[in-house]
Structure 1
């Protein structure tokens, strides 16, 4: 049986530090030593004390770290995702400029 996916609306925002789009941050050193992820393009925020932090969002998969150029997607039900700039407009309809 074939079926069509119901169109959903979502808020799509390019990540910018200082806008409160992340759910938290983790020390860069912890991300590197504890994770099995590619860390080359992760956003790195430097705190006043010199420590480097990596922002993330929480969803059903756990912590999803944000990379340079990523977009934060918030679905109608509040579920949040991260999507790279190389894929975002293939998956979501680009809004009309006002």
Structure 2
């Protein structure tokens, strides 16, 4: 069974001094998934790196959500192209 660690949105936001609305907005853009249990919201531990990257883009570089969405889309394209390059290299050099 796949066991994941859940982190309270409230405690995460308090420890990072951000508004919970930021996490909700990330969920609306489908960058992260909010899990509700017993009337409390949680995020998976695996999402922390993504959330912290989005926080830096938004708060440190002052990029709005539409800009973050575009950046994320481009990063995903780069990742897919990198996987394709590796696959093609493996085909050329067995």
TM-score interval w.r.t. the shorter chain? 0.3 to 0.5
> Which has the larger share of strand?
1
User: Whose radius of gyration is greater, 1 or 2?
Assistant: 2
Give the number of the structure with larger relative contact order, counting CA–CA contacts within 8 Å between residues 6 or more apart.
1
What's the TM-score once normalised by structure 2's chain length? 0.39
Normalising to structure 1: TM-score of the pair?
A: 0.38
